[in-house]
Structure 1
């Protein structure tokens, strides 16, 4: 019963929001009763509710004491002479005089083709007028003719004849017509007659508007028993454009599918509404002239960008195009105010009548039209992609040009689609294979490698082979196939030397440097290849000046190898700074990644972050997902080391999200390692370990830059979970792996400091002296405050008594002068704990409070909780440390977030806080990152519920442009 009531309510839903229109017709009816004859035309697009409004008016009180004669003009009735008169006056024939009855019995075709002023027609007009006047003499008369745009010409002329002679008579004529019919019937015989009739001085035109969102909400309330979600109402309103008939169909369809009006139903509206719109489109086009369908198909094929060429493609004049567009727009098939179809399902419905051959011809004609008009190659190429074959000689050139443009605007996947079609025509083309491999390098590295292998034939000249080999090497990094790349690069280098000799031209020297740089980059990744690569670099490679892109890439690679040589940082830093400072030169990703790595080791954090920011901007603008994810992970590691845990957390999460959505995501380990490290410090060690154990050993154990980080992060997670012995085993394995790989650097993966602290915690201070001494030797060679502070910390925990306290004080001083804020907090905590154990409660409180403050400020929840517990034990007081996302915000960010959540705009916030709008935007961006939310609307919920994270929606600003 509830369902039946809901359906009945929906059947009457077209009257929602129509009260003013009903009242307007009622006023005209009352005026007619007083002898003021008039007419009204109710107009609007298909489905807007004209007939429903007419029925409601005729059944109301205003017509209760009048004679109501009503009829409907059926489609195709315009050729039926007197059809409109018969449907109106036919029921009154039995009361007519013999003379009038003969007139009312006019059969189809009677007087057809006669002009209105012909004597026979005029006699018929007068006879019909007398019949109507007889009815008017008894009581008011209401003549209501629905769908008058289908009416025949003579009937319309008679209605005009009647109204011109009805002054002082109680007559009201009400007509309904489709608004889009104006565009369709301008060539029809009845068009002029209808125009004359509606132009009368006393004709009132009621144009029915689409339903408002409030109206839609009322209809949904009548239809569904449960309260509707606001999103359901909004989406239903947008999908139907406020058209009552469309809304009725949509709600019926949703009801039949078992969907309610809640959030779940709202999620179904797009799919279900698309089907409803598609059926609506098919019905509409079936009832319209052929040229409307031709224009609709041209619009469907050309899309929004080709809207100016619809006429030539449809082969219809420009004025007819505009009429057809109006018909489609009024029917809700075009976007409001636009010239393209409203939905993909509508497009499919419009093109459904075409077979594959006809559709291909249409796309080919569209491509030629756009090409002749000088439109961009991508617009032309989009019409070549659906073709079954690239058969014309001009087509491959267009596709190649489109691919170049797509690459230039940062759309490699689009470029790949164009290039695949070109490759069908010329599968052996080296140029096309190389271009396609470049487009696929960061979206499908294995496919790109296969294409490059096919292009590296022995018959290819050495210079071309060298360029392809360099591309092959960097692509192998994304696919984790470094070993295959090394052999190829070494072979090409040997061939270059043999064929070109020692006296190289500048271009050849740059080419050779490019191959050398890629060999260094690839060789320094693998645990089994880094030693040989270091030897080769030291023995046979000169340090370049860094004046060209290839030189800077080689310089950055050599900076990494130099940094690992157990010496002071200055030579490596000099190389890294030179490699990273190349704004005028084409950007090489690995120049910035390797430079940032070295600069981060050397505590040159601002320079490192600047290099990574440049790389991230380049990756985002060019949709380089693999590079972007790698750069985000690297920045997350750097920020973590700086103690900027909220920003590190945001970067690491974004990197994991991006890589997880890609085909190459399984081979990329660094995002997960970066995220796990931050989670441990955030007090989420169990989540960190789960993330780490899900990482495949095939991708982590073979590489210098992942395996030690994995062991360190896993060891820290085990320690946080209470497994000190397990953590110690992992730290020692980390040290062994680095020793095997020949990597002896104090700042890179300082496992020795972690091992020393765990051993001291286990009461094995003497054992702690060995890793402490190892780290101290390395730290003194590198000499930055961070590693010197860590070395002092390791020695301090391994040294009992006052000497140990002194060393821990040294660690606090060194680390406070370094950018390592969390390590500084850790040193304060350890020193406070040692002082507390020694009975110096006052001194302990000073350092424990400092540790707690630092941890709170930088988001190190686990460390802060430990500091707070020790502080309370020492007799101090401190507010509880939490993992609330709001703790991540600065005071200014809290103020901005609070005002924004309350509905204030950016300009208003800026004025109230006396800052610039740009400053407000910067703070809001930071807030979104830290709270892991995507938009302003989510702020209020997060601020009301501090323990609840924002919706896990990927931040658009954090993704490469092509992945949005």
Structure 2
């Protein structure tokens, strides 16, 4: 550690040496808190004397040697012996008394009965009487043994007219019995040099000197706050900062800082160490608990220790200035002693009526559940911790209670409570607590709330058959709250998971009756969602669900209900409303650090973006959600983010990324839920996009089979018939495709505008151009209403193709531009051929002054057929116009193109006027009818 900011103190020491060198013996007492730089100041001062020829003797006292007479004096004289051995002016044996060379052999006698100090004093006086000044420097002088103190005092008395300087560095604090050395030194004529902590300004100068440039004020203040200006601690922080970063920034407390803290700690008396440990263990409670009772010190001794620790820069009042300092103090203890200390604190806090969370914190650190009251305190604290979203602390408390619990019913309740807490951040961690409770749930041995938690776990993992059996145990609700739980669980089972898919077992008794009662009994959110799903979707019904969501508090039991509500609003053609509500819920989930909630809500938000045609946001959001939880924590719900991510990447043309996503392992039970069906649909559409229509057809047929065999109410919400229509189109079965599309359109009830628009577009693909254009316009109107800009871009592209086939090239271009604009908004490649986006070309040879000689669509159609050799009658029949109209169009064409007859029609110009289309685009957008 480099000395800094001690110029005045060094000057005072230099003046004292100058006086002593002139034959005026001097005593200088240096005081300051631990770590203030007293030792460094003495060392720096002695270094300045190298050129003076002074004889320098140094020694350091210590509490461990305080009861060993002449221990310090022995150090001084042995140093004198060594110094004389290197000098040409004297022999050591002539000056060093033999009884001083082995001070430990003299026994522990009172100062008055010990004669060694007199001969030691004589030796020191002889050294001071030579031709060289004598400087005696003693570090930690307050810890001197009595005999050595007598030696120093006698030297001062008899050396007042000699060339002798005694420098004693002392802490300025004393033990409970007070330091006789410090007191006696203060009685002697002396000059005091006080080392105060460095000011904030001095700390800034020190940092600037280290960095080679001034540092921001907030950095200086951070160092000063952490150290109270202690040079030792500042330099330790600088050492750590240099280890972690090339430049000095905010303080980093690492190994060097910890070492400095322990160095300061162990310089004091044992009582000071015990007080420091008690304060570190108490933390924020340090000012409310009798620290002396924990440390075994008197009130005066406790206050003295607090003062010393404050002056050393470790404490600010009763609190440690830096958490790393408190941690270092506790880690310095033996584990068993630390555990006992926390146990005593917990006992004291409980007896004083402290809040449960404060008592539980120390019970956890003590790994202790006291009989009679410990379990109750820990359970109360666990509930409060979970309410404060501190899942880790909650599970620690519950785990401690469960470890010592022997009652079976209590163990069941504790296991479910643990699972509920861990589910919030890691569903996989909840599994070991819930697996053993399957039988208890089936036997009806759990409360309604706990049974619902086990059922939720079964559904999450895809155990649909056992879930159905567990639902049977919830038939008889004994209270309104229980009825609410039953209704919401049944609602989520049917609509969110879609697990009305039957198992191999017999039907569950009472299930149909509960289905009829579920919507009526759920109230609030579930009832409004039921109304939205079961009836005609309106702005009012969607707004009612969104309004209920705003006042809904997320918790472990209703997460899936909230997710289902968001999906219901989004699929009811109100994705913007759903997005706004989902964003608000996501923000709350992030604030509450609920990882599972963030993952599921993030998946929902990605699907909403997909429904809006924002495929880039959908892809990014789905991947983020997918990475929020480990694969084993997703259960069957992994199909939700996976299907969205696959669909979005396919729409973006990122086929390789979609293929990688399809390599993810998925649980087999997922295919017995709606998430498996959505996964199969996403995979099927990817197969279509990558020219594997028969593989796609297989996936879509599987979806249809599962839905027909399972929950019939889900069928209108999942347009699997339209999927089959698209796959059949791709393999050339236009008639089958039309049948599937018509069946989708003929479904009763209010299926979504998006699903109807998709079916209309597919039906259009099987029709002649005139009919096709009409159907596509209806599809476009529906897509505008529901807000799916991706599907809207595709529908516009189809309509452009229909106009093109009708020979309506201007309209084809106009609609193609609309398709391109929607595609640009979705950040996808344009679905129309580039030629359709080019400006029309003027006829060759047209006079620019006369304006552009551009043929109209009608003229272009007639001229094109005439150039190909059709007669006027044939053109009339083909275009459904009169022969007179054909003749009129041809007359105008001849005039505009300056030709005499049809044989002179420039086919090359017509090639420019009529857009050329790529084979790929033409094949995918031409009529199949």
Q: Given the two structures, how large is their TM-score scaled by the length of structure 1?
A: 0.67
Asked whether 1:692 is paired with 2:662, we answer yes
CA shift in 2, pair 1:639/1:105, >3 Å: same
1:748 is displaced (CA, Å) by: 3.6
Name the CA distance, whole Å, in 1 between partners of 2:640 and 2:438: 27
Report what 1:72 is aligned to: 59
Counterpart for residue 934 of structure 1: none
**What does 1:561-600 correspond to in 2, within 5 Å?**
562=534, 576=545, 580=549, 588-600=558-570
Residues 1:787 and 1:294: Cα distance change in structure 2 (over 3 Å): same
The separation in 1 between residues aligned to 2:554 and 2:195, in whole angstroms, is: 67
* Residue pairs, 1:624-639, within 5 angstroms: 625-639=595-609
**Which of 643, 659, 664 is 1:673 aligned to?**
643
- In the aligned structure 2, how far is the partner of 1:184 from the partner of 1:839? 106
Deviation per CA, 1:662-683: give whole Å up to 9, x if none: 7555764323333333344455
Q: State the Cα distance separating 1:600 from its structure 2 match.
A: 1.7
Contact 1:738 1:744 in 2 (8 A): no
Q: Is 2:195 aligned against 1:205? A: yes
Q: Secondary structure of the residue that 2:759 maps to in structure 1?
A: helix
Whether the 8 Å contact between 1:32 and 1:38 is mirrored in structure 2 is: no
Q: Is the aligned partner of 1:294 residue 2:274?
A: yes
Report SS of the residue matched to 2:58: strand
- Could you say what secondary structure the match of 2:332 adopts? helix
Correspondence list, 1:363-378, <5 A: 363-378=342-357
For 1:459 and 1:735, the matched residues in 2 are separated by: 36
Deviations 1:872-906 (A, max 9, x none): 773379xxxxxxxxxxxxxxxxxxxxxxxxxxxxx
- From the CA coordinates, give the structure whose radius of gyration is larger: 2
Partner of 1:774 in structure 2?
743
Match of 2:622 in 1: 652
Shift of 1:369: 0.6
- Kept in 2: contact 1:71–1:87 (CA 8 A): yes
The counterpart of 1:865, out of the listed 829, 844, 863, is 829
Separation in structure 1 between the aligned mates of residue 774 and residue 533 of structure 2, nearest angstrom? 35
Q: Any idea what SS the aligned residue of 2:57 has?
A: strand
Which residue, 728, 734, 754 being the options, matches 1:786? 754
- Which residue of structure 1 lines up, in the alignment, with residue 786 of structure 2? 818
Cα gap change, 1:635/1:453 in structure 2, threshold over 3 Å: closer, same or farther?
same
- Normalised by the length of structure 2, the TM-score is 0.69
Superposition pairs for residues 308-323 of structure 1, below 5 Å?
Answer: 308-309=288-289, 310-323=291-304
Which secondary structure state, in structure 2, belongs to the residue aligned with residue 695 of structure 1?
Answer: coil
Partner of 1:480: 462
Q: CA deviation at 1:74?
A: 3.9
Q: CA 1:873–1:124 in 2, change beyond 3 Å: closer, same or farther?
A: farther
State which drifts further: 798-807 or 278-287. Answer: 278-287
Equivalent in the alignment of 2:431: 446
Partner of 1:828: 796
Quick check: 65-74 or 413-422, which moved more?
413-422
1:41 aligns with 2:26: no
1:148 is matched with which residue?
141
Could you say which residue in structure 2 is the equivalent of 1:714?
Answer: 683
Question: Would the aligned equivalents of 2:816 and 2:836 in 1 still touch at CA under 8 Å?
Answer: no
- Match for 2:482 among 491, 501, 511? 511
Q: State the secondary structure of the residue aligned to 2:195.
A: strand
Aligned to 1:190: 181
Distance (Å, rounded) in 2 between the aligned partners of 1:45 and 1:837: 94
Distance change (3 Å), C-alpha of 1:144 and 1:851 = farther
* Partner Cα separation in structure 2 for residue 43 and residue 324 of structure 1: 15
Q: Summarize deviations over 1:746-776 as a string: whole Å, max 9, x none.
A: 8744455556566667776555434433333
Using the TM superposition, give the Cα deviation of residue 474 of structure 1 relative to its aligned residue in structure 2, in angstroms.
Answer: 2.8
Post-superposition offset of 1:801: 2.4
Alpha-carbon distance in 2 for matches of 1:573, 1:244: 62
Question: What count of residue pairs does the alignment treat as equivalent?
Answer: 796
Q: Secondary structure at the match of 2:523?
A: helix
CA drift of 1:709 comes to 1.1
Q: How is 1:223-622 mapped onto 2 (pairs within 5 angstroms)?
A: 243=233, 273=254, 289-299=269-279, 301-305=281-285, 308-309=288-289, 310-324=291-305, 338=320, 342=324, 346=328, 349-352=331-334, 355=336, 361-385=340-364, 390=369, 392-430=371-409, 433-441=412-420, 442=423, 443=427, 444-450=429-435, 452-453=437-438, 455-456=440-441, 466-493=448-475, 508=479, 511-512=482-483, 514-524=485-495, 529-530=500-501, 542=516, 550-552=522-524, 555=527, 558-559=530-531, 562=534, 576=545, 580=549, 588-609=558-579, 612=582, 615-616=585-586, 619=589
> 1:874 — aligned with what?
837
Question: For 1:817, what is the secondary structure of its paired residue?
Answer: helix
CA distance in 2, matches of 1:70, 1:589: 77
Q: Hey, what's the Cα distance between the residues in 2 that align with 1:847 and 1:335?
A: 74
Cα distance change of structure 1 residues 426 and 185 upon mapping to structure 2, 3 Å threshold: closer
Return the alpha-carbon distance in structure 2 between the equivalents of residues 140 and 683 of structure 1. 91
CA distance in 2, matches of 1:70, 1:873: 100
State how 1:909-948 maps to structure 2 within 5 Å: none
CA contact (8 A) 1:659 1:665 kept: no
- Residue 417 of structure 1, CA deviation: 3.5
Q: 2:316, 2:818 → 1: CA distance?
A: 61
For residues 153 and 366 of structure 1, what CA distance do their matches in structure 2 show? Answer: 39
Question: Is the alpha carbon distance of 1:574 and 1:374 closer, same or farther for their aligned partners in structure 2, counting shifts above 3 Å?
Answer: same
Alpha carbons 1:41, 1:204 under 8 Å: kept: yes
Shift of 1:641: 1.2
Distance 1:459 1:695, change over 3 A: closer
Distance 2:703 2:351 in 1: 65
SS at match of 1:382: helix
* CA distance in structure 1 between the aligned counterparts of 2:282 and 2:632, rounded to whole angstroms: 31
Q: Deviations along 1:484-540, whole A, 9 cap, x unmatched? A: 1321322442x66xxxxxxxxxx6355345324423432456666347999987766
- C-alpha separation between the residues in 1 aligned to 2:261 and 2:121? 44
Seen in structure 2, the aligned counterparts of structure 1 residues 596 and 110 have a Cα distance that, compared at 3 Å, is: closer
Report which stretch shifted further, 802-811 or 29-38.
29-38
How far the C-alpha of 1:437 sits from its partner, in A, is: 0.4
Partners of 2:190 and 2:32 in 1: CA distance:
16
CA contact (8 A) 1:775 1:791 kept: yes
Return 5+ residue gaps in structure 1 as ranges.
1-13, 222-230, 255-259, 497-506, 878-964
Paired residue for 1:58, among 46, 49, 53? 46
Maintained 8 Å contact 1:22/1:53 = no
Q: Unaligned 5+ residue runs, structure 2?
A: 213-218, 841-929
SS for the counterpart of 1:64 is coil
Over aligned residues, Cα RMSD in angstroms? Answer: 5.6
Once the 2 structures are TM-superposed, how far is the Cα of residue 58 of structure 1 from its aligned partner? 3.4
**How much does 1:707 deviate?**
1.4
* Distance across 1 between alignment mates of 2:651 and 2:761: 18
In 2, are the aligned partners of 1:636 and 1:674 still within 8 Å (CA)? Answer: yes
Q: For residues 250 and 831 of structure 1, what CA distance do their matches in structure 2 show? A: 69
